[in-house]
Each structure stands twice: as structure tokens, then as C-alpha cells.
Structure 1
């Protein structure tokens, strides 16, 4: 009887967890669904009071206005350059730093990991002003490196945590066997450790790319010229003088969401594997 009660209790617990997950997923998806539906509404219907949920007369004019605007293509290119460059640099540095902090006998690894954790949760708004002054002195404003460098600095600690925790799970026997076979430390890292750390790399890469693609505050502050603005800033500038074109703004936002959605769909298994295999372990 006790075993039956235990099984019943586990089933009830799982049912409650599943229901809670569905409610959370619905609450999270509702703004995205609203944005997608509004992107097909006419300007009159998008600003109607009370608002309508489904468009009465769906139109693609908003997508034509957003994608056909003078600078939207340039905004997409700028975001791609900044996000891809930042992600590549973060993954490269995080791999070596995670290897050193996770597998080498270094002193002070605990304080270093705590410092990285503090940096990763530090609010961006608190450092925007001093960063702006530094970049102005160095001549980095209105350029790609003015965004890439702070993006790397802010997202590298989180990537190091993910890579370090994942590398801790790799058996040391693999590394010892490569050393016995005469492989150099760099060769061992690239040929033995790197293939085992792919899920964690995908996890860190997806999180870094998403964060840099959607970042707004630093992109707005450090780039005043239209030629180097990114997608979030460009979409914010769609607002007109006498009206706010909600349909065009939401259409641009939907177009900017497509790369992130594709990235998550393509690498979803690797991301889940990276999170469960090592990213959430101490």
C-alpha cells in the first residue's frame, strides 16, 4: 500500500509540475503571439480601443514597410556582425578559461569563479556612463568594436561558468591517454576536450548570441550614427512624429526574432544537453 501511495504521490506531483509548465509557457508565449498577430493588422486596427486579438483584415503591408525601410537591412547586417563576432570571441576565450579553471591545478579558482559570477549579474545600466566616457576617449564610439568589446566583457563570465562546469565532467583518462600518445596540451584541448564540450559550447553560444542580438541600452548609447545601429535600436526609431506605427514595429520585431528562433530550433538538443550535463552543476 505504501508503494502504491508513493507512486500516486509522484504522479500527482508530476501532473502539478506539467500543469505549471503549461501555464508558464502560455504566459510567456502570449506577448509573442500578440506581437505576431498585431504585425498583420492595419494601423487603424492596431491602435483600436478596445483592442482586437485577431486581425479582421490581415495585411502584409507592415512587413513591407519594415523590411522596405531605408536602414532596416543595414540594421540586420550590423546586428549580425556584432553578434557573430562577440559570440565567436566569447566561445574562444571561454573554452581556454574554462579549461584552465576546471582542469588545471590553479590556485584561487574559487574566488575567481565567485568574481565571474558577480560580474555576470552586474546591471548594465550601472556601467553605461563610465563605459561611454572610456569609449569616447579611445575613439570606439559609432563603430562595431565599441559594442563587441563590452558585449564580450559582459557575457564571457557566464560562458566560462558553463564551459568550466561541463569540462569537469570529462574523464581525466581521455586527457592522460592523449598525453601518453605524445599530444601537446593545445592538441589535447582541440582534439580530445573540444568534441566532448560541444553541447556546452552550443549552450553558451546560443545564450550569448541571443543576448547580444537583443541588447538595446549599450547599442543605443554607443552608436549615434545610423550606419552602425543594430536592429533593436532601428526598430525603436520606427516611431513617427504624430503616431506610433505599432504594426510596422511589431513586423520588424518579428523579422528580427526569426534568426533567434531558428538558432534555438536547430540547436535545441545540444542546448538542453549542455544545460543538463554540466551547466547547472557546481
Structure 2
């Protein structure tokens, strides 16, 4: 009975993974089909696989430039957001400050604001500062999205760290900053990595701000750049599929490199010791 249950579990797991991966599998199979076959056949596999869509995706549009823009903006946003959120979360959760609950409530409310509600004032501010078509012009609005989320997530990790460790450090004469740097920060490393990955992916996939603020093709990010592949009279699905596969690879590699820290951060504190 246990053997049957084990077999059934693995069958269910295979089906579940297949359903989750199906969109990416279909996009990949489409990307290696000849252009004419994409519109004339709905077969899964092609008998004449080709890389012409990948060559067209890189040559017809500056895809590598789009990827560079996304990488720079996402990296800077992640460093600034997680760095500021770490200090703010430590102050809110570990220091004797009045109104902590109200502050976290405001942070949560700010993270729920739709982008459409704030795009107009942010666009006006960026335009007045002369930051359109630049990395800084995107980092500023991205911070408005990622910083509240980072503070809220990191606060939950900091709250799980025993206060006895902090009290021992104070008895030894450590300042609040020394306690944060030498005790709290190392223990919260899994949570920081998890938050950084979430912020990076959110910034990499963001579309509305990137479309509105950076209108110059040289400064466009990946989501906006891929949407520009289509023309008024045709949609090059082969190029779009190939570009989608190419820009997905860095995210997959990033998650695989830090998968242990991500899992450790997601499961941190789930088991009571």
C-alpha cells in the first residue's frame, strides 16, 4: 500500500511539474521551429529545428542592450531596497520605538497601492528632475514598489531572532549598530537573500514604469523591449519566443545558484526549536 502511495505521489509530482513548466516548454518548442511552420502547424515537435529565431531576436532588436538595462536597474534597486529595508526593519522590530504597529501598517498599505495610481506623479517628478531615459529614472519608482515589500518581509525575519542574543551583546558593551552588524545581520542572512531575490525578479519583470519613463529604445528594459518586437501588421512569434527563452535563462541561473539560501530563508522559523 505504501509502495502504491509512493508511486502515486511521484506520478502526481510529475504531472504537477509538467503543468507548471508547460508554458515555458511550449515557448521553447516554438522558438526552435522554422518561421513558416509556426503559423502552419500546431505540432509539438518540429522535424527541422533551427536557431534562426534566436539569431533574429538578437539582431533585429537590441536584446542584449535590453538585458543589460534590466540587469543594472534590478541590481541597483535590489542593493538600495534591501540595504535600506534592513536598517528600517531592525529599528522597527528591535529598538524601543513608539508607533511600530502604525509604521508597519502604513508600509503594508503602501505596498498595496496599484502602479496606475502613482504612475502620474512619479512620471512628473522624474521628468522635472530630468531623469527620463536613464537608470536613475527607473530606480526611483522601483524603490517605491520594492522598499515597502522588503521592509515587511525582513521585519518578520528579524522578529524571529531571540532577543537574548541582543541583550547579551548590550551587556558586553556593544552599540546598537555593532549588535546589528555582528549579530542580527548574520542570523538574518537567509531572509536577506530571499528578499533580494524577490526584489530582483520583481524589478526585472516590471513593465509599466519602464514603458512610461524610458521611451528611448536604448534605455528600454527586457519586458518593454520584447513587446516592441511586434509591428503594426505582423507578430514575429518566433523572435518573441526566442527572446523570452534568452531573458529567462539569467533568472533561472540566479535561482539555481542561490536555491539553498532561498529555501533556507523561506523555511526559517517554520520549525520551533
Per the normalisation by structure 2, the TM-score is: 0.89
In structure 2, the gaps of 5 or more residues are: none
Residue matched to 2:263: 272
Residue 237 (structure 2) pairs with residue 246 (structure 1): yes
2:107 is matched with 116
Whole-angstrom distance in 2 between the partners of 1:126 and 1:91: 24
Query: Distance in 2 between the 1:194 and 1:235 partners?
Result: 38
Name the structure 2 match of 1:74: 65
Matches within 5 A, 1:24-103: 24-48=16-40, 51-69=42-60, 71-103=62-94
1:128 match? 119
- Residue 137 of structure 1 and its aligned partner are, at CA, apart by 2.1
| Number of aligned positions between the proteins | 268
Please report the RMSD computed on the Cα atoms of aligned residues, expressed in angstroms: 2.4
Q: 1:132 & 1:17 partners in 2: Cα distance?
A: 51
| Counterpart-to-counterpart distance in 1, 2:113 and 2:265 | 24
SS in 2 for 1:251: helix
What are the equivalent positions in structure 2 for 1:152-191 lying under 5 Å apart?
152-191=143-182
Question: In structure 2, what is the equivalent of residue 256 of structure 1?
Answer: 247
The structure-2 alpha-carbon separation of the partners of 1:202 and 1:129, relative to structure 1 and needing over 3 Å to count, comes to same
Distance 1:92 1:197, change over 3 A: same
Check 1:19–1:118 CA distance in 2 against 1; reply closer, same or farther (3 A cut).
Answer: farther
Rounded Cα–Cα distance in structure 1 between residues aligned with 2:183 and 2:108: 28
TM-score by length of 1: 0.87
**Residue in 2 aligned with 1:233?**
224
Unaligned runs of 5+ in 1: 1-7
- Shift in Å at residue 134 of structure 1? 2.4
1: distance between equivalents of 2:17 and 2:141? 32
